[in-house]
Structures are given as C-alpha cells and as structure tokens.
Amino acid sequence: MDPRASGTPELAELTTSTLSTQLAVLQGHTKTVSSAAFSPDGQRAITASADGTARVWDMTTGQTLVELSGHTGPLNRAAFSPDGQLAVTAGDDATARVWDTRSGRLLNTLIGHTDKVYSATFSPDGHRIATASGDGTARIWDGDTGRELVHVGSPPWDLYDAAFSPDGQRLITAGRDGWAEIWEVSSGRNVARVRPPGAVSEMVRILGVAYSPDGQRVATAVSSIYDFFSPQIWDASSGRAMVDLVRHTADVNSVAFSRDGQRVVSASSDGTARISDAATGYSLAELLGDGGPLTSAAFSPDGTRIIIANGPVARVYACDTCLPTDALLALARKSLPSP
C-alpha cells in the first residue's frame, strides 16, 4: 500500500526518511565485498570478495566461521544451496566452485566458461547450478557431478546475472546488451525478453535480475549512460512493464524480493540501498553505507533484516519498514515528534 494514498501522513513522513538500525558489521575481507546473502535459515551469511575469498559468517557473533579459498582471482558472487549445506562461488578465473559450508572443503569446480563468471546460484531443488559469464553464456550444471547440462545466451554480450524461477523451470539472465531474457531450463529455448524503453546496446545494461517468490514477476537492476537508474518490475509471462521503482542516482547493481514478494531492495553505486513497495514502486526506506558504492543487498529469509555489501565489509540492518502496515503506523506515531 502506498502511504501517500493511505491517508496516513505520519507513515508517509516516516517511510520517506532513512529508517534502519545497524545490527552488525562483518569485517575480515581485505578488498571490496562483491556480494552478501543470508543462509536459508538466517543464522549465517556468506560474502564474496575481490580478495579472492568467500566467507561464511555466524550472524549471532558476527565472526567468520569458514573461509573458502581456492579461486585464482577476485570473486563476484557467493550463494548458499537451499539446505545451506553447500555454497557456490563465481570468480574472475572463469570458474564456479562448490564448497561444503561447514568444513570449507572444495567439492567441485565447474569448468567451461571462457571468461570471468559473474554469478552462480543453485536451483530451488539444489540439484542444478546456473552461472552467468563474460563469455556471453549462461550455463546450467548438474550440481552433484559438475557436468554441464545446457547453455544459453547471445555472445559476445556479457551476461552479468542469472536466476532460477521458483519452480526451477525457467532461468532469467541479465545482459550487457540491455536485455533480460527468460529461458526454458530443460531445452534452452528463449521464451521472453524484457528491455527498458529506449535502451540501446551498451547504453543501458541489465546488471541484476530476480524472480518474485510466486514466479509471476521479475525485477531488473540497470546501469545506464543516461539518467536512468530506476529498477523495474515486469510480468514474467508477457514481458510487460508493471512498476518503476524509485530511482537511484547511479548504477543499480542488484535487486532482490522479500520472501512475501511485497518489497524489493535495490543496491546502487550511489551509496544507498532502497526498500520499495513492489506493488506501487513507492520508496519505504533508504539504507546508507559508509560511503562508496553498494554492490549487493538482500533480505533475510524472515524479512526482518537486510544485508548489504559496502566496500570491504558487509552491513546488517533491521528492516523496520518490513513490518506490516499496522505495525508501521504504531512505529510512526511513536517515533515522530508531537505537533
């Protein structure tokens, strides 16, 4: 619900301000953290860094539990498997690697890309892995054997991100050519494409993509040489543009839905992460790092926290505006000064 249309000025005033409580700072990497995400149970987090390592963190203590080391260059992404027992990392060394998150043991190396791997993620059932690469392809791998199953894409345009649909039947990719494309996982057939209005190859790039939890919508993060830095939400079946989220002032590097699909968090090179209402596009809150670009942002599984990647650290915030509307109203009336 858009607070401006709800007749609740105190809620509108609260949600258009910066509203967040920093809970933790995860420190230990020596170079930029490129991605940060919670484990499926919310008790751990995983980060990937340009220092060539990924780390698994205890969210109670903020301490490193395991360091994943073995890539021969910077890392661009790290993600947990659906059961939290495994992690996959994507690196500039043109590989993705699968790890045991408890012991830190390397289990498999996915070899086949010919350029840096920008992203890697597990399918919802945990049996497949999708990677997106600067070689212009996204590849789907058997998560148990490491065997390549299918690849899609339109070389030579880099693919920066890939995400499975909630049912695991489709894959959406983000491209340097300004297209986000949806593919059938079993066959590699292209079934839909979306592109920001007026986009021209290399003038507008799609840097990040995400499916809504119900699989009906997709969100895109954009980079542009124009003054166009608005994340967008699209109909996943028709490719119809549905909602423009509140605009950033620099490249949008990532987008993610909350588990209930009601909110989207976007991370930008303007140094902010914005929490937006997924139905209206209205901005609910702005999170500020400690200066410099934010490379990723994600919700915790229960929606009560957000983790952002900011320079050499990851920061965890309480998501105050992720409360139900009634609870937000109570918070607003308590927090704002009396007239």
pLDDT value at residue 9: 40
Looking at residue 10, its pLDDT comes to: 42
Q: Report the pLDDT value the prediction gives residue 16, as an integer from 0 to 100.
A: 42
pLDDT given for residue 170 in this prediction: 98
As a residue count, the chain comes to 339
Q: Which amino acid is at 337?
A: P
- For the chain (length 339 residues), average pLDDT per consecutive 10? 37 46 95 98 98 98 97 98 98 98 98 98 98 98 96 90 98 93 95 76 84 97 78 92 91 96 96 94 89 95 95 93 61 56
Look at residue 276 in the predicted model and tell me its pLDDT. Answer: 94
Taking the CA atoms of 211, 76, 188 and 198 in sequence, report the sign of the dihedral they define: positive
pLDDT attached to residue 155: 82
Tokens in use for 288? 């500020």
Task: Determine the pLDDT at residue 195.
Answer: 85
Delineate the domains of the chain, giving CATH numbers in brackets: 3-335 (2.130.10.10)
- Across 197-220, b (16+ Cβ under 10 Å) vs e yields eebeeeebbbbbbbbbeebebbbb
Angle value at C-alpha 322, between 241 and 24, nearest 5 degrees: 115
What is the pLDDT, as a whole number, of residue 1? Answer: 34
Global pTM exceeds 0.95 = no
- pLDDT (0 to 100) of residue 255: 97
The single residue listed with the structure tokens 């059961």 is 83
Give the C-alpha distances (Å, rounded to integers) separating 57 from 67, 81, 205, 302, 337: 9, 15, 32, 18, 38
Output the pLDDT for position 63.
97
pLDDT of residue 200: 55
Residues 6+ apart with CB under 8 A from 160: 118, 119, 132, 174, 175, 176, 205, 206, 207, 208
Cα 145 to the center of its chain, rounded Å: 26
For tokens 């590097």, the residue is 253
SS (HEC) of 12-28? HHHHCCCCCEEEEEEEC
